Amino acid sequence: MSSVATSEAETAFPIPANVFAETVTAVKHYTDRLFSFRMTRPQSFRFRSGEFVMIGLPNAEKPVYRAYSIASPAWDEELEFFSIKVPGGPLTEHLQKIKVGDTVLMRKKPTGTLVHDALLPGKRLFLFSTGTGIAPFASVIRDPETYEKFDQVILTQTCRENAELNYGRELVENTRNDELMSEFVGDKLMFHASATREGETRGHRVTTLIENGKLFTDLGIEPLNPETDRAMICGSMAMLREIEGLLQARGFEEGANNKPGTYVVERAFVD
């Protein structure tokens, strides 16, 4: 079994000081570019939904760490992550091969801007993502506080291919049906998914859909309004810039932990 198949790398390199060494409990591959995994959560580890941590593997004297959004909510006993597989990537090349029972390293301090504290109160919360940018929102939409603070939560994800949207589809379905969450979520959670390189939604980037208004007509909701709406953005640098431009043109202002605003962006993952 994989639980006893401790890799040679692990025995060759000691666990660095001041990091958590956690055990993988589940791995799920969605496509040849995307996978998710779950691991044990240290008793003392606290975070706010939407934050990220630095993740590494015990496969070198000085492990390579990368910023990963925690996809699980703060109440979950385990930690979940949603990852891309970069061919030849210093971390993901190895991380994509992890199995149940393997060890993953995690630095101790979570941080990030995609948190409720960085947003002013509002009525609707828009969560705009491309690709694995959905990860922090997987945490936010499973946090009861989100539904205490907002009347409507609109999650959008743009991916290249249809199969890449499956993590988000499962997430939304499971959240709506979850015994604990369904009471908070009710009918407040909306999901708009588009694959830009195939099928009916070919070419439908969320930016295009905001500009031509199709996002709002598809969902049957009012267009963006800074008086009532708040937004969080997570995706590629190009996508962040474009959505920020669209929001600023409509009167939205960026917030931070020490100065809440009407939208927030996570820039930790950009290439």
Q: Which of 104, 125, 134, 159 binds ligand A2P (CB under 6 A)?
A: 159
Q: Strand pairing partners for 119?
A: 261
Q: Which stretch binds ligand A2P (CB under 6 A): 16-24, 48-56, 73-81, 237-245?
A: 237-245
Task: Report d(CA 268, CA 266) in Å as an integer.
Answer: 6
Sheet holding 229-234, edge to edge: 189-195, 152-159, 124-130, 229-234, 263-265
Task: Report d(CA 95, CA 158) in Å as an integer.
Answer: 24
- Nearer to ligand A2P by C-beta: 92 or 207? 207
Q: Which of 120, 238, 249, 256 binds ligand A2P (CB under 6 A)?
A: 238
Task: Report d(CA 181, CA 75) in Å as an integer.
Answer: 11
Distance in Å, CB of 128 to ligand A2P, minimum:
9
Task: Report d(CA 232, CA 262) in Å as an integer.
Answer: 9
- Nearer to ligand A2P by C-beta: 111 or 236? 236
Q: Strand pairing partners for 112?
A: none
Indicate whether 160 belongs to the interface with ligand A2P (CB under 6 A).
yes
Indicate whether 115 belongs to the interface with ligand A2P (CB under 6 A).
no
Structure tokens at 220: 């049957």
Footprint of ligand A2P on residues 184-213 (CB under 6 A)? 196-197, 205-207
Indicate whether 157 belongs to the interface with ligand A2P (CB under 6 A).
no
Residues in the site for ligand A2P, rule: CB under 6 A?
130-131, 158-160, 196-197, 205-207, 236, 238-239, 242
